[in-house]
């Protein structure tokens, strides 16, 4: 019989002897009895071949044939095969370089190119090396505004993604920043106004109208915008822009981790959180990349650190870079238009059946009014359709992307009752 244990009994006893103990139990003498386990009810050990077969049987229970209309910050988008091949190379995938970036010119160059593409898409002057996700990017943008203005009040539109709002409140509580959802009162104590467009409910906002309400020059405007709409919608004119990177070459990954971009106008670049990679020339006149700004707690200028973020999402940013490079301006625009056209096509079919929408001014997500959200979604699911996110008893958030086929759209409309 093959022994699959990592160490033999004699080897374990030799290790115990070397530290002056008689048994493994002696290692845990100091622990209270009530927290000790009485053993785990585990099956016998399997060989690798047996384990693979067992996992395949478990995986077969997963239902993967649903057509998905789920969104709200995480949705299905086309990912070119080359993204996996390039981002999965060992030079990127195993290199622990975000902390010691100076030793890897390749990593630094990829971050630099990513920053350049973000600036092109957003129209901003400066981009950092990326953020953990859009929620923390929003929160860090507010902290940036507080540092710039010296004020401690932020207005956050109630139509911003609810998950983002929760993270913002957590940040704000620790920093003693007042958060309000009332955008009608923009006074001299307001550090910033945060708006999402298209917002969580899919609606596109007129940012210029909001800017007219900001009469104090010190109050900053922050806009949260996903990457895909920026290829067809004019980027809003604001002070700071943040947004979700998941639609640009990144898998749903069971809800995370994703990444986010953070960009701003030039005069706030020294207050930007995280790090910025710059391009220069070395002593021999050869192009070189380096961390230009890195006012973090682990680097120099610790007392002036703008954030306690330990690292950017280097691999997510890399995947975004590769995706944007492969798609190009035309491909990105095509994916965005396909998403928008598919969404409006489904919305039109549903309104023809008598359903109503919360707003007709949307990009690729819309809120559908129904009689009973649970029954509506349950009926769709029985027909292999994930119909959207339940907002309340009578409203559903529906997301349509370039991945939804004509047949899926027809089936959704047909089974919607």
Q: How far apart are CA 202 and CA 216, in angstroms?
A: 29
What is the biggest distance separating any 2 CA atoms in the chain, rounded to whole angstroms?
Answer: 80
CA 405 – CA 69 distance, rounded (Å): 11
* CATH code, residues 81-323: 3.40.640.10
Which spans in 40-161 are helix H? 48-59, 81-87, 90-93, 105-122, 134-149
Contact, 332 vs 231, CB < 8 A? yes
3-state secondary structure of 124: coil
Would you state the structure tokens that stand for residue 186, as one six-digit string? 């923009």
The DSSP bridge pattern shows strands 153-156 and 178-180 to be: parallel
Tens of pLDDT, residue by residue, the chain (417 residues): 455 577 888 999 999 999 999 998 898 888 998 888 877 888 888 999 999 999 999 999 988 889 999 999 999 999 999 999 998 888 777 655 455 555 578 888 999 999 999 999 999 999 999 998 999 999 999 999 999 999 999 999 999 999 999 999 999 998 999 999 999 889 999 999 999 999 999 999 999 998 988 988 899 999 999 999 999 999 999 999 999 999 999 999 877 778 999 999 999 998 988 888 999 998 899 998 888 876 554 555 566 677 766 556 888 999 999 999 999 999 999 999 999 999 999 999 999 999 999 999 999 999 999 999 999 999 999 999 999 999 999 999 999 999 999 999 999 999 999
Interior/surface letters 368-399, b for 16+ CB within 10 angstroms, e for the rest: bebeebeebbeebeeeebebbbebeeebbbbb
Cis peptide upstream of residue 257 (ω within 30 degrees of 0): yes
Residues 30 and 39: their CA atoms lie apart, in Å, by 18
How high is the pLDDT of residue 3?
58
This prediction has a pTM of: 0.85
The whole-angstrom distance between residue 194's C-alpha and the CA centroid of its chain comes to: 18
pLDDT of residue 93: 73
The CATH architecture assigned to 67-78+329-415 reads Alpha-Beta Complex (3.90)
CA atoms of 246 and 133, how far apart (whole Å): 9
Q: Where are the domains of the chain?
A: 67-78+329-415, 81-323
Helix or strand (DSSP H, E) at 107: helix 105-122
């Amino acid at each position: 019989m093959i022994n699959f244990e990592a160490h033999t009994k004699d080897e374990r006893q030799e290790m115990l002897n070397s530290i002056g103990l008689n048994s493994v139990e002696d290692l845990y003498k100091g622990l209270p009895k009530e927290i000790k386990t009485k053993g785990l009810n585990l099956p016998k050990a399997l060989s690798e071949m047996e384990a693979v077969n067992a996992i395949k049987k478990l995986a077969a229970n997963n239902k993967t044939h649903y057509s998905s209309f789920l969104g709200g910050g995480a949705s299905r988008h086309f990912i070119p095969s080359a993204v996996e091949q390039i981002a999965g190379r060992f030079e990127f995938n195993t290199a622990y370089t975000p902390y010691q970036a100076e030793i890897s010119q390749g990593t630094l160059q990829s971050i630099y190119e990513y920053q350049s593409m973000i600036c092109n898409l957003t129209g901003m002057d400066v981009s950092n090396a990326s953020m953990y996700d859009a929620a923390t990017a929003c929160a860090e943008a507010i902290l940036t505004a507080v540092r710039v203005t010296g004020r401690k009040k932020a207005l956050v539109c109630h139509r911003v993604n609810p998950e983002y709002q929760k993270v913002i409140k957590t940040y704000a509580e620790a920093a003693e920043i007042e958060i309000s959802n009332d955008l009608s009162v923009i006074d001299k104590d307001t550090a910033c106004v945060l708006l999402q467009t298209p917002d969580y409910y899919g609606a596109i906002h007129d940012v210029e109208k909001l800017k007219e309400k900001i009469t104090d020059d010190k109050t900053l405007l922050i806009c949260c915008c996903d990457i895909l709409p920026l290829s067809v919608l004019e980027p809003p004119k604001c002070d700071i822009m943040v947004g979700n990177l998941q639609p640009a070459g990144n898998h749903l990954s069971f809800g995370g981790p994703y990444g986010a971009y953070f960009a701003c106008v030039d005069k706030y670049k020294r207050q930007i959180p995280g790090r910025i990679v710059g391009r220069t020339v070395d002593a021999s006149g050869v192009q070189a990349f380096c961390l230009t700004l890195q006012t973090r707690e682990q680097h120099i200028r610790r007392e002036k650190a703008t954030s306690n973020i330990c690292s950017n999402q280097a691999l997510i940013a890399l995947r975004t870079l590769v995706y944007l490079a492969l798609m190009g301006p035309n491909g990105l625009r095509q994916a965005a238009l396909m998403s928008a056209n598919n969404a409006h096509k489904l919305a039109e079919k549903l309104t023809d059946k008598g359903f109503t929408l919360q707003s007709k001014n949307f990009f690729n997500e819309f809120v559908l009014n129904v009689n009973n959200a649970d029954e509506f979604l349950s009926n769709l699911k029985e027909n292999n359709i994930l119909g959207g996110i339940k907002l309340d008893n009578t409203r559903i958030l529906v997301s349509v992307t370039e991945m939804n086929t004509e047949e899926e759209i027809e089936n959704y409309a047909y089974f919607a009752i």
